[in-house]
Amino acid sequence: MRAMAYRGPYKVRVEEKQRPRIEHPNDAIVRVQLAAICGSDLHLYHGLMPDTRIGHTFGHEFIGVVDEVGSSVQDLRVGDRVMVPFNVFCGTCWYCARGLYSNCHNVNPNATAVGGIYGYSHTTGGYDGGQAEFVRVPFADVGPSRIPDWMADEDAVLLTDMTATGYFGAQLGDIVQGDVVLVFGAGPVGLVAARSAWLMGAGRVIVIDHLDHRLEKARTFAHAETYNFTEYGDIVLEMKKATDWLGADVAIDCVGAEADGDFVQHVTSAKLKLQGGSPVALNWAIDSVRKGATISVMGAYGPLFSAVKFGDAMNKGLTFHTNQCPVKRQWPRLFEHVRNGYLKPSELVTHRVPLEDIAEGYHVFSAKLDGCIKPLVVPTAA
């Protein structure tokens, strides 16, 4: 089969690989019809995630057709069209039983501090991902769902991570009616988080980034006020002014490890790999919110330490809510929102990249060329 393969930092190519096999009785093999590149993939692509092995196939957002099922699979049939959450999870460990699918303890031997994720290095379990023609899907009776008839494919694929994560991020903000919500990052996750904050009754939603085309989307897609942080000497001070000197009630970090805005922080983490991640946006969030506020962290950070301003966080009495998104738990409610038209994830798709051109796709998304917000990947035979 054809599959994307990692060849070292900033380098990927398409290779002929062996079609995955059933390795456990509850496995399924899915033939991918549509996949996507996530902001998280950029952390792998830039070589920031420890134990990312050469030849690894990325891709944790994908939909497709069930091609083969293991002997214990009861629910899925060959030919079913399924959407697969980015989490690999068992359904019954201590965590899964309590709905924390992203923290499953039965699928990732390599680390206990993170669950299982498709195509996301060996640190999350060593599963090849969906930027390929076929992918192994463990626990086929637990993870995948049949795509509802009414749902468009481009919406379905974006519900496997980006949309669920943005919606989850807004929930972790514990928003109450009239809250001022600050969203750092106008990437796909931030845009959905900003749109979702309104569903929870926010009184004001402010989005911060430095890419004008994405801030434009924040105004149209997410109905938000926007600030390009490069236009202000100090974005934190600007947020104090914008909130009557109180600070925001809630902040959502949708930037993560490769945050810009402070050259030293960025270069020491994203380029030199001396920190687990550049906490520029997180530190701005800590300083921009009011005392007693809640900060939701969706942005991903590596396992090494980062230079976070924890003293400010402590003195201000902040509450942090964090996690990888337990995707399937969001779906029933989120499907209603999509069906009602409150959220239309496919509006964020800017590029549709054939699998064979994946190297260019990664470059465009990574270097933020051509107004790119969300690139989809179309496998060769789909």
Partner 1 sequence: MTYTPHKPPIAESPEELRRRIPGWGVDLDPRDRPSVPKLQFQEDFTGAHWEFPERQPEKYPRERSVEHGMLTPVFGTAQPLSGVSGAIRRHAYRYAEGRMAHWLLLVLGDRVDAWEHHLKSLLTLRPDNPITETGVKAEFTHHGLRSRVGQHRTDLKHQVLDPVIVGGPWIAAAGAAYVGARSMARSLARVGSDGRRPVH
Verify binding: residue 339, partner 1, rule CB under 8 A: no
Nearer to Zn ion, 242 or 254 (CB): 254
What is residue 19's DSSP assignment?
Answer: P
Nearer to Zn ion, 106 or 294 (CB): 106
Verify binding: residue 343, ligand NAD, rule CB under 6 A: no
Stretch that binds partner 1, among 8-16, 28-36, 183-191, 308-316 (CB under 8 A): 8-16
341 binds, among ligand NAD, partner 1, Zn ion, none (CB under 5 to 8 A by kind): partner 1
User: Which positions from 54 through 113 interact with ligand NAD, judged by CB under 6 A?
Assistant: none
Verify binding: residue 230, partner 1, rule CB under 8 A: yes
88: enclosing H helix or E strand: strand 87-88
Stretch that binds ligand NAD, among 188-196, 236-244, 330-338, 342-350 (CB under 6 A): 188-196
d(CA 120, CA 52): 8
Stretch that binds partner 1, among 30-38, 155-163, 181-189, 238-246 (CB under 8 A): 238-246
Q: How many of the chain's residues bind partner 1 (CB under 8 A)?
A: 116
User: Which positions from 26 through 85 interact with Zn ion, judged by CB under 5 A?
Assistant: 38, 40
Q: Calculate the alpha carbon distances from 320 to 28, 137, 156, 293 in Å.
A: 37, 32, 30, 9
User: Which positions from 5 through 64 interact with ligand NAD, judged by CB under 6 A?
Assistant: 38-40, 42-43
Write out the DSSP string of 93-152: SHHHHTT-GGG-SSS-TT-SSS-EEBTS-GGGT-B--SSBSEEEESSTTTS-EEPPTTS-
Q: How many CB atoms lie within 10 A of CB 240?
A: 16
56 binds, among Zn ion, ligand NAD, partner 1, none (CB under 5 to 8 A by kind): partner 1
Nearer to Zn ion, 161 or 253 (CB): 161
d(CA 205, CA 196): 10
* Of 326, 178, 308, residue with least CA distance to 249: 178
User: Which positions from 242 through 281 interact with ligand NAD, judged by CB under 6 A?
Assistant: 254-257, 259-261, 280-281
Closest CB 173 distance from ligand NAD, rounded Å? 13
Helix, strand, coil percentages in the chain from 3-state DSSP, rounded to 5: 30, 25, 45
Pairing state of beta strands 248-253 and 180-184?
A: parallel
Verify binding: residue 158, ligand NAD, rule CB under 6 A: no
Is 162:169 a contact under the CB 8 Å cutoff?
A: no
110 binds, among partner 1, ligand NAD, Zn ion, none (CB under 5 to 8 A by kind): partner 1
Verify binding: residue 111, partner 1, rule CB under 8 A: yes
User: Which positions from 80 through 119 interact with Zn ion, judged by CB under 5 A?
Assistant: 89-90, 93, 96, 104, 106
Q: Calculate the alpha carbon distances from 359 to 50, 158, 352, 362, 366 in Å.
A: 21, 21, 13, 5, 11
- The partner residues of 377 in beta bridges, in order of sequence, read 35, 353
Where in 229-347 does DSSP place strands (E)? 248-253, 289-297, 319-322
d(CA 259, CA 346): 25
Stretch that binds partner 1, among 34-42, 154-162, 183-191, 237-245 (CB under 8 A): 237-245
Verify binding: residue 47, partner 1, rule CB under 8 A: yes
Is 206:239 a contact under the CB 8 Å cutoff?
A: yes
Sole binder of ligand NAD in the list 1, 82, 181, 211 (CB under 6 A): 211
259 binds, among partner 1, ligand NAD, Zn ion, none (CB under 5 to 8 A by kind): ligand NAD
Binding interface with ligand NAD (CB under 6 A): 38-40, 42-43, 161, 165, 184-190, 208-211, 214, 229, 254-257, 259-261, 280-281, 298-300, 324-325
